[in-house]
Amino acid sequence: MGRPPRRPPVGATGAPGEGTRTTGPAGTEGWVVALGARAVLVTGDGRSVRANVRCHCDAEARAARPEVPFEVVHLRRDGAVLDVAVGTACGSCRGAIADAAGVPLGDVSDAPSGAR
């Protein structure tokens, strides 16, 4: 029993070699940056982001380049959407800045002890 073939996100347009422009399930308009068997990454500017890394840039560095919206769409084996993580990434270091509600993610050191 093999895996079903990968499908591009609903509403995707454009040739894969040119980058695929799409609107993610949570409404982020942008390009498909990474299409895998388990997840799809959609970013507003078509460049990769480091969604699992927090930004530690100072305000000056963040102001130099605009923030980038992104979505990480987790897929089930059949290709259906399982979960969507939405956020904003720093334009300089490409690390995550805020979640979908615009709430800053903060440093890991800001979390209560025992929390991850």
* Out of 61-70, 77-86, 97-106, least confident range: 97-106
Model confidence pLDDT, tens digit, residues 6-40: 454 444 544 434 568 888 888 889 998 888 888 88
Q: Domain-by-domain residue ranges, the chain?
A: 21-103
Give the mean pLDDT of 97-105: 62
Q: Which pTM value belongs to this model? A: 0.67
User: Amino acid identity of 23?
Assistant: T
44-75 pLDDT, tens digit each: 988 888 888 888 888 888 888 898 999 989 99
